[in-house]
Amino acid sequence: MRRQLFFIRLALINTFKKRLRAVLAIGVIALTSAVVVVLFGVDIGLHNLVQNEINQSDSTDVVTVTLRNTQQVKLDDTAISRIKSISSVGQVVQFVGIFGTAVLHDINLNMPLYAVSPEYFMLGSTISIAGDLNKQPSDNNVVVSKKVIEIYGMKLDQAVGQKIKIKATLTSDNTGSSVSTDTKESPIQEYTIVGVIDRGDLPLAYIPIDNIKKLGLTSVNQVKVRLTDVNRVGEVRESIEQQGFQTTSIIDTINQVDRLFAVIRSVLVIFGIIVFVVTISATFTIISLTLMEETKQVGFLRINGFLKRDVNMLFLIQSIVLTLLGAVGGSILGTISGNILNVFSRSVASGEAFSSDVTIFETPIAAIVIIIALSVVTGWMVSQIPIKRAVSINPLQELKE
Amino acid sequence: MKNPINDIENNKSIEHELSAPIIETLGISKVYRIGSTMVSPVTDVTLQVGYGELVIIFGPSGAGKSTLISMLMGLEKPDVGEVFFKGVSLYNYTDEQRAVIRLKKVSYLPQTQYWIDKLSIVDNVALPLLLQGWSKSKARTKAKEYLKKVGISPDLKQAPDQLSSGQQQKVALARALIKDPWIIFADEPTAHLDSKSVDEVAQILVDTAEKQKITIVMVTHDLSFLKLSKKWLFMQDGRLWNIEDKQNPFTNIKQVIDYIEVQKEKEKED
């Protein structure tokens, strides 16, 4: 054991004999490894961030049904009943986008108005920034966007419970009128604000669909279907599409995102291979130079009873010390840089635009383990040719020269 | 016949069996191919070195002395003939066993010293023991003892290359002696030294060897060693001659010395 410890000491002496060269080699390996760690970390972070945001918008067990471009088939009560009758279909919530006007303190605000079922928000994961969205909007309640509150000069914490008057306008598409210019206006009705959501700079409001149906709404733009069995998404979508509707699911987006990140990862793997080659070249050069400079040492040690396997071990340790230090240093550097990137991105990203903390870098544990394992393999690989040369030298001849 | 590996493993001191040589060769030759021609740096060398003997090998550069020593040390197998170490065929041992013999009981004192730069003189002297697996403290204690023996103050911080060449050679001598070797192969150990250092190194080497019954096989041009040895061999064109051998191309030692001097001058001119 003491002998082996001495070999390690000797290997370290040899490795750092030319300090600048060793530091440069380790630096190159560390820098390239750090870039790989950052890229893989950002890949994982962004992927998770995007997926998280997607998951926040809809659940995977929800299918959105919309009209085809032709609009020959309407999403009316009959169609909705047929959808409800499909096996595994649970909740069905309706949605229609109409034109609306809000009136408060004699200020009229034209804005999009969404008439929805009370379970609408329960199917997605929209988070209220004030009030409660549970089973809302119902009766004469309304959910508004933050912009509406701002326009009317209300404070966010005082908005819930405030009254607001809303007038809705239906077009012929909504009423099924054959005259395309036919519009129908609802009387101005007072609503109570029960929730506020963040939609950026867009003023809009969600009102109960039943209130609009009373005006003669015959069909809606969209229904969301929650399934009782998430594994039957495909079959349910097929049944709905057979009825002439178009369906989308968050799974589509997730698959697209996955495909995009698969491409990004392939690029990263290619980059990783380049890093691997750089590491091999740097280490091989250093080890070969060390051998050229240390042939006298090898000769001296061989004369003094150094076995071939001892020479092997000496060069192996030197090689692995370089690659391992580079890889570990690079992993630490990459992780620190990634976390700095997180702090920076959090400071520039609007917190309200994301449902949770913005984390664009996540420590890529698997990539780090692979980098470290590869560094050991690389160290072993690049030492083999110098080792072969070292054990084949004539010890006396080397010492004499 | 004793097995030297067993002796090493049992940590036995050398037995001076005057009847048997410690190193013996039987018609050893080494042949290399250089291009289309065959070169034989060592040809049919038969040699016997007794326990505790100081054997001096003279010869011009390129005579085959280093190849001979390499074969005697177990580093290079002869193409023809046998080398016996304490009566056992050296090349019947594995590479590893021969390395163990060198590790523990064979020392080499070269003309130009090799030092591990980052180690102090004490650690450089202790190196053969550290390679054997000794603890650093024990090896250092013994190294300091041997440095004192050769007249060098043991300084843990001083690097060997800070010493004069005479002092460096004394440190190298301490390093060669520290493992209590059975045999030391010395290759022109005083070649670059001033006459005072030559005398000092020669005296320490011979005195210690005599005291500890160490066998020395020395390749040298240095006449200072002539008076210290009774066995002189001359090597020329791969052949080794005993100076008293009737077939020897030279009739006396003076002719050998003159020949070597002429060769040296020629080398300088070249």
pLDDT digits (tens, 9 = 90+) for A199-232: 878 889 999 988 888 877 878 888 888 888 878 8
ipTM of the complex: 0.82
How big is the CA angle at B95 (ends B91 and B96), to the nearest 5 degrees? 130
Q: Is B64 exposed, middle or buried (0-12, 13-18, 19+ CB in 10 A)?
A: buried
**In chain A, whose CA is at the least distance from the CA of B74?**
A303
Give pairs for B9-18: CB < 8 Å, separation 24+.
B13/B180, B14/B51, B14/B182, B14/B213, B15/B51, B16/B51, B16/B52, B16/B213, B17/B51, B18/B50, B18/B51
**A307: chain B residues, CB-CB within 8 Å:** 95-96, 99
**B95: chain A residues, CB-CB within 8 Å:** 307-308
> What is the pLDDT confidence band of residue B143, given thresholds at 50, 70 and 90?
very high
Q: What is the pLDDT of residue A346?
A: 78
Amino acid at A303: I
Q: Do B102 and A395 touch (CB under 8 A)?
A: no
Among candidate residues A326, A249, A255, the one with its CA nearest the CA of residue A286: A326
Cα-to-chain-centroid distance, residue A288: 44
Q: What is the pLDDT of residue B10?
A: 64
3-state secondary structure of B106: strand
Distances, alpha carbon B236 to alpha carbons A284, A307, A313, A396, in Å? 43, 32, 40, 19
To which residue do tokens 């103050």 refer? B153
**Cβ(A394)–Cβ(A295) below 8 Å:** no
Distance from CA of A375 to the nearest CA of B (A): 27
B112 inside 8 A of chain A by CB = yes
Average pLDDT over residues A375-397: 84
**Cβ(B33)–Cβ(B40) below 8 Å:** no
pLDDT, tens only, B44-101: 899 989 888 888 888 777 888 888 999 999 998 999 999 999 888 999 999 889 999 9
Classify A371 in phi/psi space as left (phi over 0), alpha (psi -120 to 50) or beta: alpha
Q: What is the pLDDT of residue A257?
A: 77
B69 inside 8 A of chain A by CB = yes
H or E element in which residue B133 lies: none
Q: Do A306 and B69 touch (CB under 8 A)?
A: no
Highest mean pLDDT among A245-254, B178-187, B193-202 belongs to B178-187
Q: What is the pLDDT of residue A278?
A: 79
Whole-number Å distance between alpha carbons of A388 and B177: 31
The angle that helices A19-57 and A308-348 make with each other, rounded to 10 degrees, is 40
Q: Regarding predicted confidence, which is higher, A53 or B28?
A: B28
Highest mean pLDDT among A129-133, A229-233, B102-106 belongs to B102-106
Interface test with chain B among A1, A9, A297, A304, by most B beta carbons within 10 Å = A304
pTM over 0.80: no
Q: What is the pLDDT of residue A180?
A: 59
**A301: chain B residues, CB-CB within 8 Å:** 131
Interface of A with B in 292-311 (CB under 8 A): 296-297, 299-308
Q: What is the pLDDT of residue A307?
A: 83
**Cβ(B71)–Cβ(B42) below 8 Å:** yes
Give pairs for B83-87: CB < 8 Å, separation 24+.
B83/B23, B83/B24, B83/B25, B83/B28, B84/B21, B84/B23, B84/B24, B84/B25, B84/B26, B85/B4, B85/B22, B85/B23, B86/B1, B86/B2, B86/B3, B86/B4, B86/B7, B86/B20, B86/B22, B86/B182, B87/B1, B87/B2, B87/B20, B87/B24
Of A1, A6, A397, which is closest to B131 when you measure between CB atoms?
A6
Q: What is the pLDDT of residue B7?
A: 67
**Cβ(A346)–Cβ(A360) below 8 Å:** no
- Range of lowest pLDDT (A43-52, A73-82, A220-229, A392-401): A392-401
**A306: chain B residues, CB-CB within 8 Å:** 99, 103, 131
